[in-house]
Structure 1
Amino acid sequence: MKKLLSISFAALLSAQAFANDAANELRTHLADLKGFQAQFKQTVIDADGVSIHEAEGKLSLARPAKLNWQQVMPEQDMIVSDGSTIWYYSPFVEQVTIMDASEAINQSPFILLADDRSESWQNYQVEKQQQGFLVKSKDDPLQAAFWVKLNADNSISRFDIIESTGQRSQFDLQGFKANPSFSEKLFKFEIPKNTMIDDQR
């Protein structure tokens, strides 16, 4: 019994070491990426492998945790984060939802692309998988996982958001630009007049 426990404990330590190595490798790849800009094409694939939705747009990320996400097709939805506050704006329903950025980081590993702070990464485990890195919550098995593929020059060509149900949102990136010069206005959102506000902070 002691031998079995010893083997199990050694395997656990070995798995943890590989996870730490993968996390360190991913963070090293992203270390020089202070921000990026790209066009995206999103394809949502259900658990049976059937494509059920497509969208297109443009995204800009900058550290720490700044985001400008503009979907242009089929709807013109928008997500903006200045690092402390996130605004999700849907012009179709004329509503903006306001959230705390730190809470959003705890709910989605995607934002880690734009956040190099150790306190944000400590809640996630990283594995090398299928020529990329899979990032999952350590504590919440129902939280969506995040997979990212990096090229030899550390540019990003694709990332996926994988729901616990098996549904996957695949984002293929084009026109990737690393470390562009951003205006701070890009990460601020002015609420249009006559817009309904849902403040969840």
Structure 2
Amino acid sequence: MRKLALIILVTVTSQTAWADAAGDLKNYLTNTQSLQASFRQTVTSQQGKVQQSSGTLAIQRPGLFRWIYQKPFEQLIIADGKQIWLYDPDLKQATVKDMGKALESSPAALLAGNNQFERNYKLRPLASSEGVDWLEAIPKQADQSFETVKLGFSQGQLTQMELHDHFGQTTRIYFSALKINPKLDASQFRFIPPKDADVIRE
């Protein structure tokens, strides 16, 4: 009897977490037009090597984002709705690619996309952990950059992402200082490379 009660409790808890996380994702897709946050990121290689970075981001849905790595090295990624620019000030190098080709190739692009998330991903519930309700999103097309994407919601807000790519790397992103639907200056989503920068088109 005790074992049966435990099974029922686990099942109900899992269903509740799934409902909460699914509802939070739907709420984000429906009600979030813009977003500002700070982030902390770790990338763990297949061999266990860890790289850490941090910075800020701004998103205007759909299709616009500004993702700035501030530590340990400065790097700027901007999407203007048509193109994605990646600029490295130390190397004085700017790489630009068509937005369509780069769609969903980065965490920022996932967050800044349109409301077709469920059309592109198969969703399944994961166990809640430390107050975070988790969803796993598996791309329906095999040519996506990531094998799986996990979305973590806390108190209705997206606070964590975990991405597993085809090279065995795991990227974990932790969001803080979230501002939902702030008024954003459109100029921050435009990028003009410096005159002395090498521009590489992909």
Q: TM over 0.5, yes or no? A: yes
Q: Distance in 1 between matches of 2:20 and 2:56?
A: 29
Gaps of 5+ in 2: 1-18, 128-132
Q: Is the 8 A contact 1:79 1:86 kept in 2?
A: yes
Whether the aligned pair in 2 keeps the contact of 1:88 and 1:97 (CA below 8 Å) is yes
Q: CA RMSD in A?
A: 2.5
TM-aligned CA distance change 1:55 to 1:93, over 3 Å:
same
Kindly indicate whether residue 122 of structure 2 is the aligned counterpart of residue 125 of structure 1.
yes
Tell me how many residue pairs correspond in the alignment: 177
- Among candidates 172, 186, 189, match of residue 187 of structure 1: 189
Normalization by structure 2: what TM-score? 0.77
2:172 is the alignment partner of 1:170: yes
Cα distance change, pair 93–81 in 1 and its aligned pair in 2 (3 A): same
Structure 2 counterpart of 1:149, which letter?
A: G
Aligned ranges for residues 101-112 of structure 1 at < 5 Å? Answer: 101-108=99-106, 111-112=109-110
Measured in 2, the distance between the counterparts of 1:53 and 1:23 equals: 28
Q: Deviations over 1:54-92 (max 9, x none)?
A: 101001111011110010111100000112111011112
* Paired residue secondary structure (2:103): helix
**Is structure 2 residue 91 aligned with structure 1 residue 96?**
no
Contact kept, 8 Å, 2:22 with 2:135, in 1: the verdict is: no
Please list the CA deviations of residues 97-139 of structure 1 after superposition, one character each: whole Å capped at 9, or x if unmatched.
Answer: 1111122115457523222243x65332222224212222212
What letter matches 2:191 in structure 1? Answer: F
1:143-180 C-alpha deviation (Å, 9 max, x unpaired): 3132111122x322111221134321111111111111
After TM superposition, the structure 1 stretch with the greater mean CA deviation from structure 2, 62-71 or 143-152, is 143-152
Q: What residue is the counterpart of 1:135 in the other structure?
A: 137
Distance in 1 between residues matched to 2:140 and 2:80, nearest whole Å: 26
Structure 1 regions of 5+ residues with no counterpart? 1-20
Q: Which has the higher strand share?
A: 2
Aligned residues with identical type, % of pairs: 23
Distance 1:82 1:170, change over 3 A: same
Distance 1:170 1:121, change over 3 A: same
Q: Which runs of 4+ in 1 moved over 6 A?
A: 21-24
**Counterpart-to-counterpart distance in 2, 1:136 and 1:66:** 23
Alignment match of 1:150 (pick from 135, 150, 153) = 153
Retained in 2: the 8 A contact 1:95–1:197? Answer: yes
Distance 1:100 1:141, change over 3 A: closer
Whether the aligned pair in 1 keeps the contact of 2:105 and 2:145 (CA below 8 Å) is: yes
CA distance in 2: counterparts of 1:63 and 1:35, whole angstroms: 6
